Amino acid sequence: MGKGNWTSSGHYIVVWKIEGNTIFINDPASTKPARIRGDYSLFKKQVKYYWVITNPGTAPKTEDIKSVDYYVKINSDDGFLNIRTGAGTHYTKNGSYKNNEIVHITKISASNWGYTDKGWIHLNYTKKLTEDEMEDLEMTQEKFNEMMNNWMIEQAKREDVEKYSINSRAWAESNGLI
């Protein structure tokens, strides 16, 4: 640290948590509340150098992350799911998704975290969408009309004309549907 709130001449401190604009510090020179729980903006102005140390048991190794391509639906008891800067709860919150939002997953970690365009989410609070569910999401009015038209053509081609009036069949034929 440089000269300022935490020291008059400089010394080392340990930052063990950042939550919003509050920074939690283990300061060997003081246990005063203002020095163990401080303002992150002030800290950034006064820090000279810093090192980031990650617990090797919690950070995913590169080989533990694989590329995927699928979609999930958020399904959390809280009504939202936090987005994090890394694959673990010890990483900073980066926002959240609301329940029922559809999210594209492009990477997964061995500890069941999924990477989205906004950050990492825990996949225990999601439901992977099936191909049918994805097709439903991609349905447009144009696709629906085409499917309905094709279904009507197939129905009109059936030989059991008794179910359909002769006039309906004649109309379909005159309009080039069958």
CA within 13 Å, CB half, 10 = 5
CA distance linking residue 5 with residue 173, whole number of Å = 87
d(CA 155, CA 115): 46
Q: Which pLDDT score, from 0 to 100, does residue 57 have? A: 54
pLDDT at 149 over 90: no
Spell out the residues 6+ positions from residue 63 whose beta carbon is closer than 8 angstroms to its own.
none
Angle at 12 between CA 94 and CA 90, to 5 degrees: 25
pLDDT > 70: what percent of the chain? 79
Domains of the chain: 1-53 (no CATH), 62-131 (2.30.30.170), 146-174 (no CATH)
- Given the structure tokens 């059936």, which residue do they identify? 158
How does DSSP assign 12-39, residue by residue? Answer: --EEEEEETTEEEEE-TT---HHHHEEE
Q: For residue range 76-107, what is the model confidence (pLDDT) as tens digits?
A: 888 999 999 988 888 899 899 999 999 999 99
- Are the C-beta atoms of 120 and 86 separated by less than 8 Å? yes
Q: What is the pLDDT of residues 99-140, one digit of tens each?
A: 999 999 999 998 899 999 999 999 999 999 988 888 777 777
pLDDT at 108: 93
Instruction: Give the pTM.
Output: 0.47
Residues in Cβ contact with 56 at an 8 Å cutoff, skipping those fewer than 6 apart: none
Does residue 1 carry a pLDDT above 80? no
Whose tokens are 């500890």? That residue is 111
SS3 117: coil
Q: What residue type is 112 in one-letter code? A: N
Tell me, what DSSP letter sits at residue 77? Answer: T
